[in-house]
Amino acid sequence: MRGLARREFCLVLLRRMADLRPDLVADALPRLGATRAEAHAAHTTWQALQHAPRAPRGLTLRTAVLGPPEELEDRRFGDLDVQVRRWPLPLWPHLSWQVLTGPGGSVLDEHLVRMPGSPVPPASPGDLLVWEHVLDDVVGLPDARSVDPGVVTRWEVHLPGGVRAAFVWGLLQQVSRTQR
Protein backbone atom coordinates (compact mmCIF):
# COMPACT_ATOMS: atom_id res chain seq x y z
CA MET A 1 0.00 0.00 0.00
CA ARG A 2 1.52 3.28 -1.07
CA GLY A 3 2.75 5.22 1.96
CA LEU A 4 1.99 2.55 4.55
CA ALA A 5 3.96 -0.48 5.69
CA ARG A 6 4.58 -2.22 9.03
CA ARG A 7 6.44 0.75 10.52
CA GLU A 8 3.61 3.11 9.64
CA PHE A 9 1.07 0.57 10.89
CA CYS A 10 2.82 0.74 14.27
CA LEU A 11 2.35 4.52 14.13
CA VAL A 12 -1.36 3.98 13.47
CA LEU A 13 -1.62 1.73 16.55
CA LEU A 14 0.27 4.28 18.63
CA ARG A 15 -2.32 6.95 17.82
CA ARG A 16 -4.99 5.20 19.90
CA MET A 17 -2.47 4.28 22.61
CA ALA A 18 -1.59 7.96 22.98
CA ASP A 19 -5.08 8.53 24.40
CA LEU A 20 -4.03 6.65 27.56
CA ARG A 21 -0.21 6.70 27.48
CA PRO A 22 1.18 9.71 25.63
CA ASP A 23 4.43 9.28 27.59
CA LEU A 24 5.07 5.77 26.25
CA VAL A 25 4.08 6.79 22.75
CA ALA A 26 6.52 9.73 22.86
CA ASP A 27 9.27 7.31 23.94
CA ALA A 28 8.36 4.87 21.14
CA LEU A 29 8.51 7.31 18.23
CA PRO A 30 12.33 7.60 18.21
CA ARG A 31 12.60 3.78 18.34
CA LEU A 32 10.72 3.74 15.04
CA GLY A 33 12.76 6.65 13.71
CA ALA A 34 9.52 8.62 13.46
CA THR A 35 8.37 12.12 14.29
CA ARG A 36 4.96 13.20 15.59
CA ALA A 37 4.26 14.58 12.12
CA GLU A 38 4.97 11.18 10.53
CA ALA A 39 2.73 9.48 13.10
CA HIS A 40 -0.03 11.96 12.32
CA ALA A 41 0.41 11.42 8.57
CA ALA A 42 0.25 7.62 8.96
CA HIS A 43 -2.93 7.89 11.02
CA THR A 44 -4.47 10.29 8.48
CA THR A 45 -3.63 7.93 5.61
CA TRP A 46 -5.07 4.94 7.46
CA GLN A 47 -8.28 6.82 8.24
CA ALA A 48 -8.58 7.93 4.62
CA LEU A 49 -8.24 4.31 3.51
CA GLN A 50 -10.92 3.25 5.99
CA HIS A 51 -13.39 5.67 4.42
CA ALA A 52 -12.38 5.73 0.75
CA PRO A 53 -14.94 3.94 -1.41
CA ARG A 54 -12.30 2.42 -3.72
CA ALA A 55 -9.76 1.44 -1.04
CA PRO A 56 -9.27 -2.22 -0.24
CA ARG A 57 -11.35 -3.52 2.66
CA GLY A 58 -10.91 -5.98 5.50
CA LEU A 59 -8.16 -8.52 5.08
CA THR A 60 -7.17 -7.11 1.68
CA LEU A 61 -6.30 -3.77 3.28
CA ARG A 62 -4.32 -5.40 6.11
CA THR A 63 -2.37 -7.55 3.64
CA ALA A 64 -1.71 -4.55 1.38
CA VAL A 65 -0.17 -2.70 4.33
CA LEU A 66 1.48 -5.54 6.29
CA GLY A 67 2.39 -7.90 3.45
CA PRO A 68 1.86 -11.65 3.63
CA PRO A 69 1.33 -12.96 7.18
CA GLU A 70 4.15 -14.81 8.88
CA GLU A 71 1.64 -17.29 10.29
CA LEU A 72 -1.66 -18.57 8.96
CA GLU A 73 -3.87 -20.94 10.90
CA ASP A 74 -7.31 -22.36 10.17
CA ARG A 75 -9.66 -22.63 13.16
CA ARG A 76 -13.21 -23.68 13.70
CA PHE A 77 -15.47 -21.91 16.22
CA GLY A 78 -18.71 -23.85 16.46
CA ASP A 79 -19.93 -24.05 12.88
CA LEU A 80 -17.82 -21.10 11.67
CA ASP A 81 -14.53 -21.61 9.87
CA VAL A 82 -12.10 -18.76 10.52
CA GLN A 83 -8.49 -17.97 9.78
CA VAL A 84 -5.93 -16.46 12.12
CA ARG A 85 -3.10 -14.47 10.58
CA ARG A 86 -0.12 -13.00 12.44
CA TRP A 87 2.49 -10.43 11.49
CA PRO A 88 5.55 -9.37 13.50
CA LEU A 89 5.83 -5.63 14.10
CA PRO A 90 9.09 -3.69 14.50
CA LEU A 91 8.12 -1.84 17.68
CA TRP A 92 7.18 -4.92 19.70
CA PRO A 93 9.53 -7.80 18.81
CA HIS A 94 7.89 -10.21 21.28
CA LEU A 95 4.38 -9.55 19.94
CA SER A 96 2.49 -10.12 16.69
CA TRP A 97 -0.45 -8.38 15.12
CA GLN A 98 -3.22 -10.95 14.89
CA VAL A 99 -6.19 -10.72 12.56
CA LEU A 100 -9.10 -13.15 12.84
CA THR A 101 -11.10 -13.36 9.62
CA GLY A 102 -14.34 -15.00 8.66
CA PRO A 103 -15.70 -16.08 5.30
CA GLY A 104 -14.77 -13.75 2.47
CA GLY A 105 -11.91 -12.17 4.44
CA SER A 106 -14.11 -10.10 6.74
CA VAL A 107 -12.13 -8.96 9.77
CA LEU A 108 -13.81 -10.24 12.93
CA ASP A 109 -11.14 -9.20 15.43
CA GLU A 110 -7.60 -7.80 15.47
CA HIS A 111 -5.13 -7.04 18.24
CA LEU A 112 -1.59 -7.60 19.53
CA VAL A 113 -0.78 -11.09 20.84
CA ARG A 114 2.23 -12.72 22.47
CA MET A 115 4.67 -14.60 20.23
CA PRO A 116 5.85 -18.06 21.32
CA GLY A 117 9.14 -17.93 23.21
CA SER A 118 8.58 -14.39 24.48
CA PRO A 119 10.87 -13.43 27.37
CA VAL A 120 8.04 -11.59 29.16
CA PRO A 121 7.20 -13.30 32.48
CA PRO A 122 3.68 -14.62 32.99
CA ALA A 123 1.11 -12.13 34.21
CA SER A 124 -0.27 -12.23 37.72
CA PRO A 125 -2.77 -9.87 39.40
CA GLY A 126 0.04 -8.28 41.41
CA ASP A 127 2.55 -8.15 38.57
CA LEU A 128 1.13 -6.72 35.36
CA LEU A 129 3.65 -5.15 33.00
CA VAL A 130 2.47 -2.15 31.01
CA TRP A 131 3.37 -2.38 27.31
CA GLU A 132 4.57 -5.96 27.87
CA HIS A 133 1.50 -8.02 28.77
CA VAL A 134 -1.34 -8.49 26.31
CA LEU A 135 -5.03 -9.11 26.75
CA ASP A 136 -4.66 -12.89 26.42
CA ASP A 137 -2.05 -12.90 29.23
CA VAL A 138 -4.46 -11.24 31.67
CA VAL A 139 -7.92 -12.45 30.67
CA GLY A 140 -6.90 -16.03 31.54
CA LEU A 141 -5.98 -15.21 35.14
CA PRO A 142 -8.19 -16.72 37.89
CA ASP A 143 -11.40 -14.75 38.45
CA ALA A 144 -10.56 -12.29 35.65
CA ARG A 145 -13.63 -10.63 34.17
CA SER A 146 -13.53 -9.03 30.74
CA VAL A 147 -15.36 -5.76 30.30
CA ASP A 148 -16.04 -4.29 26.89
CA PRO A 149 -15.79 -0.49 27.22
CA GLY A 150 -17.68 -0.08 23.94
CA VAL A 151 -14.71 1.21 21.94
CA VAL A 152 -13.38 -1.12 19.22
CA THR A 153 -9.71 -0.53 20.04
CA ARG A 154 -10.05 -0.87 23.83
CA TRP A 155 -10.69 -3.57 26.39
CA GLU A 156 -10.66 -3.79 30.15
CA VAL A 157 -10.13 -6.69 32.54
CA HIS A 158 -11.22 -6.58 36.18
CA LEU A 159 -9.25 -8.76 38.59
CA PRO A 160 -9.76 -9.65 42.26
CA GLY A 161 -8.76 -6.97 44.76
CA GLY A 162 -10.13 -4.13 42.63
CA VAL A 163 -7.37 -4.35 40.01
CA ARG A 164 -8.34 -3.01 36.61
CA ALA A 165 -6.22 -3.50 33.53
CA ALA A 166 -6.86 -1.26 30.51
CA PHE A 167 -5.80 -2.35 27.02
CA VAL A 168 -5.56 -0.63 23.65
CA TRP A 169 -5.24 -2.89 20.61
CA GLY A 170 -4.72 -5.77 23.07
CA LEU A 171 -1.62 -4.24 24.73
CA LEU A 172 -1.73 -3.36 28.44
CA GLN A 173 -1.69 0.43 28.91
CA GLN A 174 -2.71 1.04 32.52
CA VAL A 175 -3.23 -0.81 35.77
CA SER A 176 -5.34 0.80 38.47
CA ARG A 177 -6.85 -0.22 41.78
CA THR A 178 -10.31 0.83 42.82
CA GLN A 179 -10.95 2.00 46.35
CA ARG A 180 -13.00 -0.37 48.44
SS (H, E, C) the chain: CCCCCHHHHHHHHHHHHCCCCHHHHHHHHHHCCCCHHHHHHHHHHHHHHHHCCCCCCHHHHHHHHHCCCCEEEEEEECCEEEEEEEEEECCEEEEEEEEEECHHHCEEEEEEEECCCCCCCCCECCECCCCCCEHHHHHCCCCCEEECCCCCCEEEEEEHHHEEEEEECCEEEEEEECCC
**Looking at residue 153, what is its pLDDT?**
93
pLDDT band at 174 (very low <50, low <70, confident <90, very high): very high
Residue ranges of domains in the chain: 6-114, 135-177
**Looking at residue 21, what is its pLDDT?**
97
Q: What pTM was estimated for this model as a whole?
A: 0.93
pLDDT digits (tens, 9 = 90+) for 48-105: 998 999 888 899 999 999 999 999 999 998 999 999 999 999 999 999 999 999 988 8
pLDDT digits (tens, 9 = 90+) for 5-46: 999 999 999 999 999 999 999 999 999 999 999 999 999 999
CATH tag for 6-114 (out of 3.30.1450.10, 3.90.1150.10, 3.40.80.10, 3.40.50.150)? 3.30.1450.10
**Looking at residue 2, what is its pLDDT?**
58
**Looking at residue 149, what is its pLDDT?**
86
What value does the mean pLDDT take over residues 126-140? 96
pLDDT above 80 for 179: no
**Looking at residue 3, what is its pLDDT?**
64
